[in-house]
Amino acid sequence: MKHLPNSLTVLRILFAPVLYFLILESRSLGDYLLLYYLFVIAGLTDIYDGQLARSQQNITTFGKFLDPVADKLILAATLVPFYMLSTQVSAFRPVTLPILLILLGREVVVTLFRYYSMWTGNIFSASRLAKFKTAFQMFFIGSILVHMAHRRMIAEYPEFAYRWFDPIHVKLNQVVIFIVVGLSVVSALEYFARNLPALMKHSRA
């Protein structure tokens, strides 16, 4: 049991290339349903690996280093193919190049800062705002996948689909991605404003 939290983190990393490949290759309703459920499982490992580690008082350096990497890989493995297909698939169009660069750039910069902080002996936890950002990111990605599954249902099983909901889903995803971008920028500024002075003070000591 003591290795389970880190095993879940490694599993999430292994999910990343699978999600990336499936997004590029999915064509049918079954493909998108499989893709959605795999994404949900990956998200659940993100929740439970941390909870298990804390409940067992088994927070390891390996886990602290690898967990952010797993999160960022899942994010990149979904948003990058969304952008790559955005000229062909209208449901992916909310992920533009500027949005992709902002979201992934924010994660890279903050993660590097966290690693440097850990190296100097400072552990800075994620703020509530950053947790909201992560929740909205996961909701957006899941919503896109559900949207694609619903579009395939309209095409393959129109008698079971709600065609009227499609334009509403388009607007929903457009709104959510702008909330995600706003939370990403604001939470990064908050993170640096809160933690950078402490790190600089420690470095001068």
Q: Determine the pLDDT at residue 195.
A: 82
CATH number at residue 199: 1.20.120
Q: What is the count of structural domains for the chain?
A: 1
Q: Determine the pLDDT at residue 8.
A: 84
Specify whether the CB–CB gap between 36 and 146 falls below 8 A: yes
Three-state DSSP class for residue 119: helix
Tokens 């952008």, residue? 83
Q: Which residue has the higher pLDDT, 182 or 8?
A: 182
Q: Would you say residue 166 has pLDDT above 80?
A: yes
Residues 90-105 have a mean pLDDT of 96
Residue 182 domain boundaries: 4-204
Specify whether the CB–CB gap between 184 and 129 falls below 8 A: no
Q: Would you say residue 157 has pLDDT above 80?
A: yes
d(CA 161, CA 42): 27
Residues 11-37 have a mean pLDDT of 95
Q: Would you say residue 98 has pLDDT above 80?
A: yes
Query: What is the residue-wise DSSP string for 61-114?
Result: HHHHHHHHHHHHHHHHHHHHHHHHTTTT-GGGTT--HHHHHHHHHHHHHHHHHH
Across the chain, mean pLDDT equals 88
Q: Determine the pLDDT at residue 16.
A: 95
d(CA 123, CA 130): 15
Residues 25-36 have a mean pLDDT of 95
Residues 112-129 have a mean pLDDT of 77
Q: Determine the pLDDT at residue 1.
A: 55
